Chains A and B, each alone.
Chain A
Amino acid sequence: MSDGHSWHSDVALEEGRPAYLPRGLKRVPRGVDELATEHLVLNMGPQHPSTHGVLHVLIELDGEEVISAEASLGYLHRGIEKLAESRRYHQVATLLDRADYVSGLHTETAFALATEKLAGIEVPWRASWLRSLAMELNRYASHLVWLGTFGMDAGAMAPFLYIMRDREMILDILEEWCGSRMMFNYVRPGGVFADIPAGLDAKIRAWLRVADSYLDDNDALLGGNEIFQARIRGTGLIDAATALAFGMTGGCLRASGVDYDLRRDVPYCAYGELDFEVPLGVNGDNLDRYTVRVGEMRQCLRLIRQLVDGVPEGDFTAKVPKVFRPPAGESYAAVESPRGELGIHIVSDGGLTPYRMRLRSPAYFNLAIVDEALAGGLVADAIVTLGSLDIVLGEIDR
């Protein structure tokens, strides 16, 4: 550069825009290229209120604008896949509850489905139905947590505490049913661990009577609020092609406009018999992810109404030998968890324990987009976008 003072107008500018200038800045102010600016690398997490656990995101900032972001994982790694290799098939569910601790029943069911496929077990219809009912209740609880934390990320405190009232009712129902509030250990290969207790359907119906109005309240408080709309509209854009390329599934993919829902496209359990719609987004921004998930919650209530009304008669579990040795081979089964396609791949060598188990955790794939989705926004957008992806670190780090 020339010797003159950088603020003097006679200092010539170099060709092209300096790399550290903010995007969107069309005209380079004179001399700004000699202004001592540098990018700030912010270590967000693993201890941070908005990383939903122990996620560590490295954010490169120019002022408040995010230049790039990189997620650093593994703070919650417990070796669930490896541990499963030393556990018999009915013991694995205790591990899988702790993988996705917000919706444990989905992981359990995926494992049970994969095992049944491997061993060729016919599951009684009632067992499938009970699984679906429990899963939908759990999905609603999981979406409630997402709704609350999403609002919390945007600074709204009220919805988080209102959803707790709602979620508590679901957890009470699930505790009475499965014996535990979150670590259910309920779905076993062959069926479920115990039948639905008598009188629980009345409890579920009592909850359903208030669930709609509670959801409307929360939706009005967040989605109806213009400040919140301004926060989420057009931020965290993920187009359909990128979403597919990154292997995103679930609500995040549907928000980008890709119509893919395992419950409808690859029916499992009782979903083939049920009537529901799959809400879709258009742009793939945070607003779309919000509307898709809230729409999904309304569909969820619709599904629960159908499921609780039509519980069929029959056994709640198939006959599975106490010493269970599936034949050698491999199988893959997936369920639509609240976060997306949750798959379990089991390789069996004919022994008592799986030879290898692999968990395809949807949030892991959804989180991979973090660089694409966060870059270009502000810090505040980054937080909201991260919240909209609905990540659960237990499942990502396994």
Chain B
Amino acid sequence: MWGLGVLKGFGITIKNMFRPVITVQYPEQRLPIPERARWAVHAVFNEDGTPKCTACLICVKECPDHVLRVESSTRPEGGKHIDTYVYELGACMMCGLCVTACPYDAIEMSHEYELATRDHSDLTRMLLFDVDAASPRRTPREDAAPAPTGTEAADA
């Protein structure tokens, strides 16, 4: 009979009216973020507060959107000094390629997801500033990824 489907629709909506709502009241309620979720890039530090970064620039070459910028100099006693490690958050698409590529686990995809800022300049972040870079030998990666080869640098 014409109209039975219409009535059934009424039944479905009223049934849903007595179901619990699915809305998550965001600032008060927060859903857990899964382990793999990718948000803003953060620098990783050793226990003594020194950065794990060795200024090898692999992340800089890996980033499809060129949002990472590292300026480093050579220390007189040997080793590298990171002048600035700049991260353009506003242009980052959180693909995670830099973190995958980093041989020293010096950066990570954090779970910081509230990234809106009031000022455009806050979107440019200084991940590391005026610190000595770690020695490449001191912090090898656990899963022993292949070290960067000469061709990698030459291709860039």
> Do chains A and B make direct contact within the complex (CB under 8 angstroms)?
yes
A residues with CB within 8 A of B: 87, 90-91, 94-95, 158, 162, 164-165, 168, 172, 175-180, 183, 185, 193-194, 197, 217, 220-221, 224-227, 229, 322-323, 352
Whether A183 contacts B94 by the Cβ 8 Å rule is: yes
The chain A residue with its CB closest to the CB of B64 is: A91
Interface residues of B in 3-37 (CB under 8 A from A): 3-6, 8-9, 12-13, 16, 22, 31, 34-37
Whether A176 contacts B35 by the Cβ 8 Å rule is: yes
Residues of A within 8 A of B22 (CB): 164-165, 168
Residues of A within 8 A of B12 (CB): 158, 217, 220-221
Interchain nearest-CB distance for A189 vs B (Å): 13
CA distance A162 to B22 in the complex (A): 10
Whether B64 contacts A94 by the Cβ 8 Å rule is: yes
Instruction: Give me 6 other A-B pairs in contact (C-beta within 8 A), A179-B34, A220-B8, A225-B9 excluded.
Output: A91-B64, A179-B36, A180-B38, A224-B5, A224-B9, A322-B149
B96 contacts A by Cβ under 8 Å: yes
CA distance A176 to B36 in the complex (A): 6
Contact of A178 among B5, B36, B146, B152 (CB under 8 A): B36
CA distance A322 to B153 in the complex (A): 12
B91 contacts A by Cβ under 8 Å: no
Interface residues of B in 135-156 (CB under 8 A from A): 146, 149, 151-152, 155
The chain A residue with its CB closest to the CB of B145 is: A322
CA distance A225 to B12 in the complex (A): 12
CA distance A180 to B34 in the complex (A): 9
Residues of A within 8 A of B13 (CB): 158, 221
- Complex A-B: 26 CB contacts under 8 Å: A87-B64, A91-B62, A91-B97, A94-B93, A94-B95, A158-B13, A162-B16, A175-B34, A175-B36, A176-B36, A177-B36, A179-B34, A180-B37, A180-B94, A183-B94, A197-B36, A217-B12, A221-B12, A225-B5, A225-B8, A226-B3, A226-B4, A226-B5, A322-B149, A322-B152, A352-B155
Residues of A within 8 A of B93 (CB): 94, 183
Whether A323 contacts B38 by the Cβ 8 Å rule is: no
Whether B95 contacts A183 by the Cβ 8 Å rule is: yes
CA distance A48 to B66 in the complex (A): 35
Q: Which 10 A-B pairs have the closest CB atoms?
A: A176-B34, A179-B36, A224-B5, A91-B64, A94-B95, A185-B95, A179-B38, A225-B5, A165-B22, A221-B9
Most buried by A among B2, B5, B22: B5
CA distance A185 to B96 in the complex (A): 8
B41 contacts A by Cβ under 8 Å: no
